[in-house]
Amino acid sequence: MYSHELFHTLHQLSRQLTNKLNEALKPFGLFNAQWAVIFVLNKRGSLTQKELCDYLFVEAPPMTRTIQRLVKQGYVKQVPGIDKREKHVQLTQEALKLYPEWENAVNKVNQGLLKHFPSASQEELSKLQKSWLHQLL
């Protein structure tokens, strides 16, 4: 019964990566969860909070909090939709200006984390993870 070990290793790996990313984002006053939102908004433009939740597979309450912190920092604005329940979230000019710098830092740390992990292994790992995840959902 080594399923325990599999789960344990996965959990630890996830935590280590999160910690390293947070460390790299610290100089910019950003955290992991905020970066995830910023990254998606930069790629997709304007999204409702529901759409962000669905995309990132996160429940609504933590998303509300993450967005509120980003609003307070001036990196995101909430625009009321035609459907008045919805809030369309988008990056501010300030965030768009700083984005390349952030992405650069993130890419650099990601590259460092993968440096000694062969790209064939990365491919294989990515494939296995996606396959398992899709079965779970």
Q: Which of these ranges, 38-46, 78-86, 108-116, 125-133, lies near DNA under the rule CB under 7 A?
A: 78-86
CA-based nearest residue to 109, from 14, 9, 24, 17: 24
The number of beta carbons lying within 10 Å of the beta carbon of residue 30 is 23
Residue span 4-43 as binding mask against DNA, x where in contact by CB under 7 A, dash where not? -------x---x---x-----------xxxx-x-------
Chain-centroid distance, C-alpha 108 = 16
User: Which amino acid makes up residue 81?
Assistant: G
SS3 41: helix
Give the nearest distance from C-beta 83 to DNA in angstroms: 4
Give the nearest distance from C-beta 2 to DNA in angstroms: 19
Residue 122 contact among a copy of itself, DNA, none, beta carbon within 5 to 8 Å by kind: a copy of itself
C-beta separation of 38 from 75 below 8 A: yes
Binding site residues, DNA, CB under 7 A: 11, 15, 19, 31-34, 36, 48-50, 53, 57-69, 78, 82-87
